[in-house]
Each structure stands twice: as C-alpha cells, then as structure tokens.
Structure 1
Amino acid sequence: MSRRNLDLSKIHIAKKDLGLDDETYRALLVRVAGVRSAKDLSPRQAGKVLAEFERLGWKPSPVKTGRKAPVAAAGRAKLIGKIEAFLSEANRSWAYADGMAQRMFKVERVEWLDPEQLRKMVAALAYDAKRHGRAAQ
C-alpha cells in the first residue's frame, strides 16, 4: 500500500473514530489544509490533518509487529532459534525471514522449510550479519 493510500485510510478512520459528520470533516479539511476533499491533499497536508485529528483526541491504533516465531519439530527447533536470534539482532521481523524463504527456496513460510534449507538460511543471515558488522553467532 502506498504512503498516500495509507494516510488517506488513516484520515478516514480518524473521521469515523471521532464521529465527525461530513460537514464538520470538510470544514476541518478547509481550515487545516485548504481543500474540501482528502484526495486533494499533498503528503505534507495529510500529515497536518492527521496531527489535527490527534490534537482533537484521536489515537491511531498501534502497528502490528508481525507474527510469533514459528513452531518447529525438535530437529529443526535449534535452526529456527538461530534464525530468530539473527532477526532479533538485526531488528527484523518474521515477515523478513518469510520473504527470504520465498526468494531463496520458493517456499512461503520459514516453518515449511526442510532442515537443509534452514541451514542455508542461517548461513545467509550469518553472512548478512558479518557484512553489517553484527555478531555472527
């Protein structure tokens, strides 16, 4: 989703959460950004409108951080643990690891990898850590 669409979605969610009728909402847009429709907002204007909604008491919902670590069979649990450690050290999510699995092996999720594929992923993450100056366990 593009940044523009994300901002427009947030604006419309805030409008609904604050219980603004259409007339009040459009008056706010005119007062804050000088436009009558959210589709006419520039990125900077959208930020100002969102800041105004927050000033009026709207609290954006927290961003979902991803998913829990995959559950693996005993033989693969150590490798999953190593992958989790590398991700944590690099401040990356499991979605990143799933993306690696997709690119490297054409498998959607890490927990579906076989032990050999998991070893290759650990090696790739170790190489990445070394390249970025992090401890490669």
Structure 2
Amino acid sequence: MRGYTYRLQLVCFAASLLCVTGCGGSSDAPTTVKVEGTVTFDGEPLSEGSIVFDPADGKGGSSAGGIENGKFMFDSQLGQKKVLISASRDTGKKDQYDEPITESYIPAQYNSQTTLTADVKADGENKYTFELKSK
C-alpha cells in the first residue's frame, strides 16, 4: 500500500505543478530553459528518484523531473533555485495488503532541509551534478 501511496503522492505533486505553472500559450509566461544533470548517492548513480527546483526567493513556480540511472532533464524557470532530491527503496517487508513497504533514504539536507542550489541562466548550458552522501 505504501508503494501505491508514494506513486499517488508523486502523481498529485506533478498535477499540482501543472496547475501552478499552467499549460502555456500566454505571451507573459515566464521563460523556461532545459536543465539536466546527474545525481549520485555515495558515489553511485541514483537509480531512481525525483528532483525539484524551487525558487530560492519563493516567487514563481517550481519545476520537477524524474531521476533515472542518475540522470535528469526537465524545463525550469530562470533564477536561483533550491534543489530538493528524494528517493525511496523497498524495505523487503510487506504491509497488511501484501504491498511492498518503502522508505525514504535520502538525508534531509538534500530535501526537506536542503543545502543544494542551482542558478538557472538564459544563456549557456544548465548542467548540474549533485553528489549526495548518506553521512
């Protein structure tokens, strides 16, 4: 059930991002550019997870994407961003509905209490490398 709950939370989060950023078409829409990069955890590519770029000043919309095999790519608005990275893994246990139980294993300093930042610019490549450590 927890795996289902995690997927449902991810879908709801993505839907809320669409509501916040809109579907486009407006000439006064904020400029977005492609951001891409890599995420490692203890020196190994993060197999899967999610990454969010939140405006550091709290103004404007957030952008998010998935991480697969240590790589991510999505569109983001310009400016200084707080970066939040999350991932969960199977604990090997099952709940009362025989669903796998997962746990978040990325330390808070990379998500809820993030210290990660990115400066998204209009000119040049916006490539980032985030090297996370468990301790």
TM tier, smaller: under 0.3
Q: Which has the higher contact order (CA 8 A, sep 6+)?
A: 2
**Structure having the larger proportion of residues in strand:** 2
Q: Greater share of helix residues, 1 or 2?
A: 1
Larger Rg: 1
Q: Scaled by the length of structure 1, what TM-score is found?
A: 0.25
